[in-house]
Chain A
Amino acid sequence: MTEQQPAEPPPWMCANCNLPLGLSKVDVGYLGNAFPVDLLKCPNCGLVFIPEDLALGKMADVEKQLEDK
């Protein structure tokens, strides 16, 4: 599964662990289906970063696709 990340990763870091985020494979799920994706994630506590364009773009498209036809 390919995932295009912006050329410059956003400068977010985990506030709690004080660590930079690293790319990691995460399964996001919807209605019983898992969708693997590479997301920026805190290597210590697992907090993830979902960018706005992913939430409002592809995630919304997939939600709609699975909900309705």
Chain B
Amino acid sequence: MLIEIAKGDFTAALRQYKKTVPFPGIISRICDQPCQDVCKRAEAGDAIAIRNLERACVDIGESSSEKSRPLPKRGGKIAVIGGGVSGLTAAYDLARKGYAVTIIEADSRLGGSLWKVDRDFLPAKTIEDDVNAVIKLGVVIRLNTPINQELHDLRRDFNAIYVAIGAHTVERFDLDQDEYGFVKVDAVTFATSMDGVFAGGGLRWGKEMHSAITSISEGRRAAISIDRYLQKVSLTASRINEGTYPSCLYTNMQGIEPHPVIDANDHQQGYEWNEAIQEAKRCLQCECMECVKACEYLKQFERYPKRYVREIYNNLSIVKGTRHANTFINSCSLCGLCGEICPEHLDMASVNLTARREMVEQNRMPPSAFDFALRDMQFSNSDKFELARNRPGTDMSDTVFFPGCQLSASSPDHVESVYAYLNNHLTDSRVGLMLGCCGAPANWAGQSALFESTLAAWRTQLQAMGNPKVILPCSSCYQVFKNHMPGVEIVSLWEIYDQCGLPAFAGTVEPANCAIAIHDPCTTRYETSIQDSVRRIVQRMGYQIEELPLSRERTECCSYGGLMWLSNRELAHKVIQRRVAASQADYVTYCAMCRDFFASHGKRALHLLDLIYNRDTPGVSEIPGASAQTTDERAARRGPGYSQRHENRARLKRKLLKTIWGEEMDGAQAYESIRLIIADEVRVKLEQRLILTEDIQRVIEYAERTGRRLLNQGTGHTLAYFKPTSVTYWVEYLRQADGFAIYNAYSHRMEVPGSGQLS
């Protein structure tokens, strides 16, 4: 309502006001404003002059002619004893619900103690107008009718009774009383000792006009009880938020300038329109937006989290069609920052993750949403990369190094270095190696079944190796193991470096750039011990640590979390830009994806392993997989593209098998040997279109094997298409002596007849 007043739209404000209160004319003049006691504006100026604003709506706003029509008639005769504000409210609400209501009033007119209010303050016409609204609903009015029979008898003529006789009578009827002589009334339902008889308003308080608005509120709540009583449903269910209740709404008062209340020039007449606008503008429109301020995702969707939760709920509960909230649900990074910031710990991550699982369950997840990441995971857990080996010469492992899929994709050289380090430093431990994807993408995509089967495979594998302790550099893997494989012992690689010491060569050279900002991956949000270890490692190497404004339990996600980078690329771009702008310093992080995403936006960023293993330090070149780059080069490097990531994983496996276990890999697919020649600008296009080298190889293999291809007579280029699973890929190429030159590639999901199937 105040928003509308502030805009000068008094008519819209009045419409709002009428929706909430039964007697706008009366209430806007006599309300005792109990809400002012809790108005946050009072902390910076005075509480909002709500009654004056309400009156301005009634005085200035145009009342629409639309009448409130009663709903179809409902069976049930109700007597309201007492025509004061409380009784009138109950009568009004019940008549609008379609009940036959009779008001029995001892006096010669309706309104009760309203008539005792100063007439200048509350003119007779205002009372009459509002009371007429009740009469117009068809309520039967019996004036001059004191009750001179037992309620028990009256009950025979009515299905329910509301007793609202005010405080000015000692009449207690045949109802139980408390020790002070007041009628005993249930504080929630307003039920009395007699079945079907309810009571409220002044009679409960024994004081004239103790609070008109409270009497009205009680009339309304008693009407709810009576309706439920007649409908034979629970009187008490879900009534916690009726009447006054403490709100959990948090309003940040920081930086809010104090403004005193606007005084009406003419107190008698109330606010002029411009005074009302000024006063309404003081309203803070209390909405706790703390999480929205911190989260680009919530900001982008522009609304208030509680509403999101309702929308998500609606999205799931509507059986037919309607997937409006899909993009919203699938765009969240599931990082949990909102839950950390929210004073009430409302966490969108758990809400969205549940919603994704539900969508998958109901077969309503858009097929394209996370497909690419799931196929990436499938690759990692295929023969191409998946590997589990005890150290040569052993048949059991005490510990096993699990580098995860993305460190192996981004910096395969580091994986080799780390495995060598672990074998050197954990001298009393047999260190095995496990390559693959932990299953996090399936979890994020809501694919519970796939996630469970992935976990089961790892569990079996670990069992076969003698249940070793798992060493994890990636914090996403860490969370998966910690939360979903409770029987498995785990340790962060960073805690090992912290406890067992860095390689001898690390940190012996004075770093060129001394200040460095630590970005904690969002999956370490509550892993204080890992965060501490990382800081000690960085300090030990001689760097000065700059803490980002949002770090540790308040750290931000890089957009990889929850697969946001895939489901909402535009948003991911903004998220990364926001994070890299938090400091001018180079970033160091301990998640390969965080580093690569920051670097993709031109930010100088390092993986913690880049600090430890680089060419800056003498001696490093002697260890396996030693990096050929300096720290400086490492910070500036762009991460590999999607195809290269597959390639890096596959090569890493092949290399480790050969160098450590002396095994050769076999069983390459025919298409893998197809050599592609791809110009840089084409490569960029393929990355944007999420088309992998192997997709292109498959199209060419299929086309060359079957002959199904088109020929361009002008250029001599070949165009062919193939659909390995759900996406059809088109490739324009030219066969050359040393391979296939690729000119273009594109894809679609719509199905075309004859698009080749996997044989």
Q: Do chains A and B touch in the complex (CB under 8 A)?
A: yes
Q: List 14 A-B contacts (CB under 8 A).
A: A12-B712, A13-B711, A16-B707, A30-B750, A46-B754, A47-B754, A48-B752, A48-B753, A50-B748, A52-B730, A59-B750, A60-B748, A63-B748, A68-B366
Top 5 A-B pairs, shortest CB-CB distance: A67-B366, A15-B711, A55-B748, A12-B710, A16-B707
Query: Per-position contact with B for A1-42: 1 when CB-CB < 8 Å, else 0?
Result: 000000000111111100001000011111100010000000
Q: Which residues of A contact B368 (CB under 8 A)?
A: 63, 67
Interface SS of chain A: helix, strand, loop or mixed? mixed
Whether B750 lies near A69 (C-beta < 8 A) is: no
Q: Which positions 709-748 of chain B face chain A at CB distance < 8 Å?
A: 709-714, 718-719, 721, 730, 744, 746-748
Q: Which residues of B contact A68 (CB under 8 A)?
A: 323, 326-327, 366
Whether A26 lies near B708 (C-beta < 8 A) is: no
Cα A28 to Cα B728 with chains together (Å): 12
Q: Which residues of B contact A56 (CB under 8 A)?
A: 746, 748
Q: Which of B322, B707, B744, B748 has the most CB of A within 10 A?
A: B748
Contact of A15 among B709, B746, B750 (CB under 8 A): B709
B50 to chain A, nearest CB (A): 40
Is B367 positioned at the interface, with any CB of A under 8 Å from its CB? yes
Cα A46 to Cα B753 with chains together (Å): 8
Q: Which residues of B contact A47 (CB under 8 A)?
A: 708-710, 754
Cα A12 to Cα B709 with chains together (Å): 10
Q: Which of B367, B708, B714 has the most CB of A within 10 A?
A: B708
Query: Per-position contact with A for B536-571: 1 when CB-CB < 8 Å, else 0?
Result: 000000000000000000000000000000000000
Given contacts A55-B730, A59-B748, contact A11 B708 (CB under 8 A): no
Q: Which residues of B contact A59 (CB under 8 A)?
A: 748-750
* B324: nearest chain-A partner, CB-CB: A69
Cα A7 to Cα B744 with chains together (Å): 22
Q: Which residues of A contact B747 (CB under 8 A)?
A: 55
Q: Which residues of B contact A29 (CB under 8 A)?
A: 750-751
Q: Which of B366, B710, B719, B751 has the most CB of A within 10 A?
A: B710
Contact of A50 among B327, B367, B369, B721 (CB under 8 A): B721
* B708: nearest chain-A partner, CB-CB: A47
Whether A49 lies near B749 (C-beta < 8 A) is: no
A14 to chain B, nearest CB (A): 6
* A13: nearest chain-B partner, CB-CB: B711
B696 to chain A, nearest CB (A): 15
* B326: nearest chain-A partner, CB-CB: A68
Whether B708 lies near A16 (C-beta < 8 A) is: yes
Whether B713 lies near A11 (C-beta < 8 A) is: yes
Whether A13 lies near B750 (C-beta < 8 A) is: no
A29 to chain B, nearest CB (A): 5
Q: Which residues of B contact A50 (CB under 8 A)?
A: 721, 730, 748, 752
Cα A46 to Cα B327 with chains together (Å): 37
Cα A45 to Cα B753 with chains together (Å): 11
Cα A67 to Cα B560 with chains together (Å): 23
Cα A55 to Cα B748 with chains together (Å): 6
For this complex, into which size category does the number of interface residues on chain A fall?
20 to 34
Q: Which residues of A contact B324 (CB under 8 A)?
A: 69
Cα A59 to Cα B528 with chains together (Å): 48
Cα A30 to Cα B753 with chains together (Å): 12
For this complex, into which size category does the number of interface residues on chain B fall?
20 to 34
Cα A12 to Cα B367 with chains together (Å): 32
Whether A35 lies near B322 (C-beta < 8 A) is: no
* A55: nearest chain-B partner, CB-CB: B748
A55 to chain B, nearest CB (A): 4
Q: Which residues of B contact A28 (CB under 8 A)?
A: 750-752
Contact of B709 among A11, A16, A35 (CB under 8 A): A16
Given contacts A68-B366, A69-B324, contact A15 B751 (CB under 8 A): no
* A33: nearest chain-B partner, CB-CB: B750
Cα A49 to Cα B747 with chains together (Å): 13
Whether B713 lies near A26 (C-beta < 8 A) is: no
Cα A50 to Cα B732 with chains together (Å): 12
Q: Which residues of A contact B712 (CB under 8 A)?
A: 10-12
Whether B718 lies near A15 (C-beta < 8 A) is: yes
Q: Which residues of B contact A62 (CB under 8 A)?
A: 750
Q: Which residues of B contact A49 (CB under 8 A)?
A: 710, 719
Cα A31 to Cα B365 with chains together (Å): 12
Contact of A27 among B721, B744, B753 (CB under 8 A): B753
Whether B750 lies near A63 (C-beta < 8 A) is: yes
B745 to chain A, nearest CB (A): 9
Contact of A63 among B709, B713, B749 (CB under 8 A): B749
* A39: nearest chain-B partner, CB-CB: B752
Q: Which residues of B contact A10 (CB under 8 A)?
A: 712
Cα A56 to Cα B749 with chains together (Å): 10
Cα A68 to Cα B746 with chains together (Å): 22
Cα A49 to Cα B748 with chains together (Å): 13
B355 to chain A, nearest CB (A): 14
Cα A47 to Cα B753 with chains together (Å): 8
Whether B327 lies near A26 (C-beta < 8 A) is: no
Q: Which residues of B contact A21 (CB under 8 A)?
A: 710
Cα A10 to Cα B714 with chains together (Å): 9
Whether A48 lies near B749 (C-beta < 8 A) is: no
Whether B707 lies near A15 (C-beta < 8 A) is: yes
A27 to chain B, nearest CB (A): 7
Q: Which residues of A contact B323 (CB under 8 A)?
A: 67-69
Q: Which residues of A contact B721 (CB under 8 A)?
A: 50
Cα A5 to Cα B367 with chains together (Å): 29
Query: Per-position contact with A for B102-141: 1 when CB-CB < 8 Å, else 0?
Result: 0000000000000000000000000000000000000000
Q: A29-B751, A59-B750 are in contact. List 16 more A-B contacts (CB 8 A).
A: A13-B710, A14-B710, A15-B707, A26-B753, A27-B753, A28-B750, A29-B750, A30-B751, A47-B710, A47-B754, A59-B748, A67-B323, A67-B326, A67-B366, A68-B327, A69-B326
Whether B749 lies near A30 (C-beta < 8 A) is: yes
Cα A16 to Cα B718 with chains together (Å): 11
* A67: nearest chain-B partner, CB-CB: B366
Q: Which residues of B contact A45 (CB under 8 A)?
A: 708
Cα A55 to Cα B752 with chains together (Å): 11
Q: Which residues of A contact B752 (CB under 8 A)?
A: 26, 28, 48, 50
Q: Which residues of A contact B708 (CB under 8 A)?
A: 16, 45, 47
Cα A29 to Cα B323 with chains together (Å): 20
Cα A26 to Cα B750 with chains together (Å): 12
